[in-house]
Amino acid sequence: MVDVANQAAIPETSKAYRAWERDLNAALRDAVKGAAWRQKRGVVFQQIDRWFVAGRWVVEGRGADRQLIAHLMAKPMAIDPLLWDVMGLGENNDQPLSFRYWGAFVCGLPTLASAKIANGAAPATARAIVDALDAALPEALARMEAEPFSAIARAAIAANDRWRMEETLAFSHKLEENPELAETPTPRVLGRGERPIPRPEPGMLAPDGGTLLNADGVPAIELAFPGHDTVAKTVPRVSTRRKSAPDAREIDRSPPKQPPAGLLSRLLSRFRGSD
């Protein structure tokens, strides 16, 4: 049981918080040594049979009400390769296991269990996080085996657990051999990171006026789904910094480069699969 009343306060200033975070992640790395869990950047993960399982800690709340929470998440090992096949990124299959959490082009993991963790000395807190994840594993794995993964993904979206969950839902239908239930992905273009770029520079629109191009004139693709929030993918950066206006004689008035021919049709045909 979490002793919230007697737990140490989570630092609020940036400098103190960074030191606390660094110590906790180091203690977490030590806590999983010799166990099935592995750790990278404060996230622990492992493969259990056909499932990729991950655990992470977050701080929720404000001020004196801040609380340390451990979340257990999972997804099928087979779901990311479906996304990589559609995007022509088969080499991602050779990436280390941590890539399935930290990679730029991966499906999301629905949260299956959460637990409050009492904050104290870093080693004890890290041990409590691992113990909470271990305690939640049996029930979480039993649910994964009992329910279609598409139902788990849909429930996560309904609970506002939306981190890359639209892709997860679409590819879970394909994994379950029901591709007709998946919404058709629409190519969209976003800047590097997890947020859409605010505004492109003049000249960075394709001739159709609706597809952003990167600095080389090539579209960067994100799988977005109608009716849902979009989720950015890591793509070549499009600068939004204002530049001084060039001399009129130096302006290149040639038309923007065209996207690769047939790119959308190839993506859609791969996603739907051949009969």
Question: 222-232, pLDDT tens digit by residue?
Answer: 433 333 333 33
* 195 or 122, greater pLDDT: 122
pTM beyond 0.85:
no
Q: What's the pLDDT at 210?
A: 40
Does residue 194 carry a pLDDT above 80? no
* pLDDT reading at 50 higher than 70: yes
Mean pLDDT, to the nearest integer, of 30-45? 95
User: What DSSP designation does 164 have?
Assistant: T
Q: Is the pLDDT of residue 116 over 60?
A: yes
| Contacting residues for 81 by C-beta, under 8 A, at least 6 apart | 90, 92, 93
Residue 113 near residue 55, CB atoms below 8 Å: no
The Cα 241–Cα 60 span in angstroms is 34
% pLDDT > 90, the chain: 48
Percent of the chain with pLDDT over 70: 63
- Number of Cβ within 10 Å of residue 224's Cβ equals 21
Confidence of residue 124 (pLDDT cuts 50, 70, 90): very high
Contacts from 4-8 at CB under 8 Å and sequence distance 24+? 4/67, 4/116, 4/118, 6/118, 7/118, 7/119, 7/120, 8/119, 8/120, 8/121
Task: Please tell me the predicted confidence (pLDDT) of residue 160.
Answer: 86
